[in-house]
Amino acid sequence: MEFIPAKTILSGYSEGNNWFGNNYTMNIYKGCSHGCIYCDSRSECYRVENFDKVRAKENALTLIQRELRSKRRTGVIGTGAMSDPYNPMEKEYKLTRGALELINTYRFGVAIATKSDLVTRDIDMLKMISQHSPVLIKLTITTCDDELCKKIEPNVACSSQRYSAIKQLSENGIFVGILLMPVLPFIEDNEQNISEIIRLARENGARFIYPAMGVTLRQNQRAWYFQKLDQSFPNLKEQYIERYGSSYQCPSPRANELWQLFKSECKGFGILYKMEDIIRSYKQGYGDQQLTLF
């Protein structure tokens, strides 16, 4: 694996932002090998060259330790927004594992977004962190059909494997749920798919589902998406062009009715779906702490 230079890995402190209440962000890896047809991180605005090649930041754990020691406030460290912390390289290099050990040592919390069942390897560390700080795991699932999953997310654990990971995490007391995003128009935006995702979420112990009934497309991401549609979903690109043109926001034509179905079924099963409720629930019982200087 290629290692690239970095001066910093952790962001500055943010007062509990609206995206799952993260206080810091952390990206150890750059690029992604999942090959998802819809990935927004592929967009030019993020300036990630050779996006499909996973690289790691040099001396990542040394940098993280130094930065954690210098923080005057603890908080929740979010990771997984730009590059999956459980990419295939993580099996060998264990940089995410090492970061979790440091996060535990310095008594921070963590919020992880991933599409990999490799996250279950670190259940022991997540349980240790949860003894003193909030822990939140978000697994992306946009279809309950494994064959469809392989078309839209070809190089990652299929949906059934992710549900199994949710079950393991939940059974170990970890606050875990689903990112139901993006729900791809004309591909995944139907009642059967949404209802089955919710049913399986309940059966496997998911505490929440956070949805987006549509997809965003911009810059070179749009060209990549349309190329993949031509390969796997012939003639569907033309429907996108006709309906959305060059719009960034591409909501499902059925977004309103699917949202009503989604809310009704989540309420019936006691599954959280509002951001403020998710944040409040996973942080419940953990006080705001001032970090003791080492």
The CATH number of residue 146's host domain is 3.80.30.30
**Does residue 291 form part of some domain?**
no
Q: Which domain holds residue 111?
A: 3-283
Q: How far does CA 267 lie from the centroid of its chain?
A: 23
- Cα angle vertex 139, ends 173, 251, to 5°? 140
For 119-141, write each residue's pLDDT tens digit. Answer: 999 999 999 999 999 999 999 99
**Does residue 294 form part of some domain?**
no
Confidence of residue 288 (pLDDT cuts 50, 70, 90): low
pLDDT of residue 17: 72
**Does residue 44 form part of some domain?**
yes
DSSP letter at 13?
Answer: P
Question: Could you count the other beta carbons within 10 Å of the beta carbon of residue 223?
Answer: 11
**Is the separation of the CB atoms in 11 and 25 below 8 Å?**
yes
Domain count, the chain: 1
Confidence of residue 47 (pLDDT cuts 50, 70, 90): confident
For 88-114, write each residue's pLDDT tens digit. Answer: 999 999 999 999 999 999 999 999 999
pLDDT of residue 293: 39
**Does residue 156 form part of some domain?**
yes
**Side chain identity at residue 25, one-letter code:** T
For 232-286, write each residue's pLDDT tens digit. Answer: 999 999 999 999 999 999 999 999 999 999 999 999 999 999 999 999 999 999 9
**Does residue 288 form part of some domain?**
no
Cross-strand pairs, 272: 208
Cross-strand pairs, 24: 77
**Does residue 292 form part of some domain?**
no
Q: Name, in order, each residue with C-beta under 8 angstroms of 157's C-beta and a sequence gap of 6 or more.
A: 115, 116, 117, 118, 165
Tokens coding 262:
């989604």
